[in-house]
Amino acid sequence: MGIGSIFKEILDAFHWSDIMNNFSILVADSGETSRKKLCDLLGKKGYKIFQATDGAGAIRVSRSIFPDLVIMDSNLWGIHAHEAARIIEEDRLSTVIFVTNNLNKAFFENLKNMKIFAYIMKPVQPEQLYQMVEFSIINSSKINSLTQKVNKLEHSLESRKKIDKAKGILMEKLEISENEAYGILRKRSMDECLPMDKMAEKIICNYG
Amino acid sequence: MNNKEALLDKARELEVEFIHLQFTDILGVMKNVSITIEQLEKALDNEIMFDGSSIDGFVRIEESDMYLRPEISTFAVLPWTSNPKEARLICDIYKPDGTPFDGCPRNALKKVLKEAEELGYILNVGPECEFFLFHTNERGEPCLETHDNAGYFDLAPVDLGGNARKDMTIVLKQMGFEIEASHHEVAPGQHEIDFKYADALTTADNIMTFKMVVRIIAQRHGLHATFMPKPKFGINGSGMHTNMSLATLGGENAFYDENDSMKLSEAAYHFLGGVIKHAKGFAAVTNPTVNSYKRLVPGYEAPVLIAWSASNRSPLIRIPAKRGNSTRIELRNPDPSANPYLALAAVLKAGLDGMKNKIAPPKPVTSNVYHMDQLEMTEKGIEGLPANLYEAVQELTKDEVMKEALGKHISEKFVDAALYEWNEYSKYISQWELDRYLRKF
């Protein structure tokens, strides 16, 4: 290993800890002692900490700051923790991991529907907490970028299908070649300032 | 989409798993029976039965079997459900012998609407629903704290309430509402969303749907939405101004007459006369809670006196300036705690009574009625709305026309429930009394 690559590794590590420090975490726990403990532990690592004491409060904070991670006690006041977590993840506000001391079947059933299948056991062990937080933030950002890619691909596949269908219709109606049909479609969508798939939709709707 | 087969196909195509069969009890609370998609066909054949005896003010235990008849045109997917998807259908309630149940508010409204139709009119209604968005406290219980200190039409920067209102508008649009405007109201945390007018039955359905959507979306924003008429002393309460116009069966506005000095038709004047005559009688229906009457006090843009005006906003009824097809009257006392079916049934019946008996309205007032003194009021023959729920119920029991609008069953149960409410309230020692008397005596 050359000196250069060692430098690079150090730089990377430096850079990495820098990023971790910029992460914001919402701690939602109705118990003051346990909430404080979690906040203290996470604060030591340099995360930006926000707090909530009830389900609705957790949703409100998530909506205004979009934290990178929500650590939620499974036994929360107000709206049930699972309900609040579902809303936070469904509306893509953040990723939720639970802190719990009660591992029953219902808990695991609910966990299956969450973005990340992970939880923290009470009493909280610092090392387990840190590891789980890093694991969750990194994995959820990977999942998020994959979801985005899948959505984008699905969309382009969907528009490709529509464009093909519209082309087919034009070819049949006007008895022209595929290239000419594509040309017409492109020209029309440029004229009307519409994306091509929207134009294709119009054609399918009107003549299909 | 008006037939059963099309609806079944649509529900399957949209991958709906659960259907909520909704109806409204006499007190205006939405109830529902949930069924799975497999049961939908049975529901559309009007075969879903429920026990009516546990619903407030419905029936005695020995006649408890009731049938739900879904209205196919009210099918709507609930946009906030995704996995599994859920939908709703609004239902009428029928007795086992196949006749409409008298205790169903929707049936009561239909009866009055039919009466109007026999006279050649259709009632169109556009409501303006106001509501508050409150925070929850650290225990997750709703409290009176609001997220903003904004006022009328204000733009609040990065405002949780504004975002929630935007989401509500989106969801309502997805459910087929045509939203006309949404804005911040006068009081901090108070909002209003207006949707397009429609015939009275559709509007009543829409008001129920609206209240459900607002509460659910507010919850998704960590806020508590309330339609309580006056949640806080010292600031404006929430009203549900009701814009009404009659259309002829041919679709023309029956309130407009270009030859009149105010461009109002004879029908409009008589309708107005009827509404003013029965205003005291229907107050218990349009303002059905103890709290409703704490909104109807001077100084907070809520009406106190039974009068009408073409311009001034202080009296009970205002005639907005727009004429032609938009000619309408705006009734300003209803609040969103009212059962919309019963409120519209009562107000329409009052108007129809005016038209049938050719009741002329009093002269319009032109000044601010808040500034009128007692002498001026007596001179002009202007009376006040009932001061509290008890007075309102007394007025209702005296008004035969209003009782007929609700039907015997509903009016009896309604009066019982309101009196029970009043008695409970009268017994309770409020904070105000403690603050006032504990040290004094």
B220 catalytic per annotation: no
Out of B76-80, B145-149, B406-410, which region has the weakest mean confidence (pLDDT)? B145-149
Q: Closest-CA residue in chain A for B161?
A: A60
Q: Which of A61, A63, A77 sits opposite B139 (nearest CB)?
A: A77
pTM, whole model, 2 decimals? 0.85
**Nearest chain A CA: its distance from B127 CA (Å):** 29
Q: d(Cα B3, Cα B73) in Å, to the nearest integer?
A: 9
CB-based contacts of B334, cutoff 8 Å, min separation 6: B239, B240, B241, B242, B286, B287, B343, B347
In this prediction, residues B111-124 reach a mean pLDDT of: 95
Instruction: Please give the pLDDT value at position B46.
Output: 87
Low-confidence residues of chain A, pLDDT below 70? Answer: 1-21
How big is the CA angle at B96 (ends B106 and B55), to the nearest 5 degrees?
50
**b/e per residue, B259-272, with b = 16+ CB within 10 A?**
eeeebbbebbbbbb
pLDDT band at B84, cuts 50/70/90? confident
- B58 pLDDT exceeds 80? no
Q: Does B73 touch chain A (CB under 8 A)?
A: no
pLDDT band at B422, cuts 50/70/90? very high
A87–B160: do the CB atoms touch at under 8 Å? no
In this prediction, residues B326-334 reach a mean pLDDT of: 93
In this prediction, residues B321-329 reach a mean pLDDT of: 88
Query: Who has greater pLDDT, B83 or B333?
Result: B333
Instruction: Please give the pLDDT value at position B375.
Output: 73
Q: Does B133 touch chain A (CB under 8 A)?
A: no
Q: Does A81 touch chain B (CB under 8 A)?
A: no
- From chain A, pick out residues whose CB is under 8 angstroms from the CB of B136: 54-57, 78
Task: Look up the ipTM and state it.
Answer: 0.72
**Nearest chain A CA: its distance from B136 CA (Å):** 7
B313 catalytic per annotation: yes
- B56 pLDDT exceeds 70? no
Across chain B, mean pLDDT equals: 89
**b/e per residue, A95-128, with b = 16+ CB within 10 A?**
bbbbbbeeeeeeeeebbeebbbebbbebebeeee
Instruction: Please give the pLDDT value at position A1.
Output: 45
B219–A53: do the CB atoms touch at under 8 Å? no
B68, B50 contact by CB (below 8 A): yes
Instruction: Please give the pLDDT value at position B63.
Output: 61
Q: Closest-CA residue in chain B for A32?
A: B138
Convert the pLDDT of each residue in B204-256 to its tens digit.
999 999 999 999 999 999 999 999 999 999 889 999 999 999 999 988 999 99
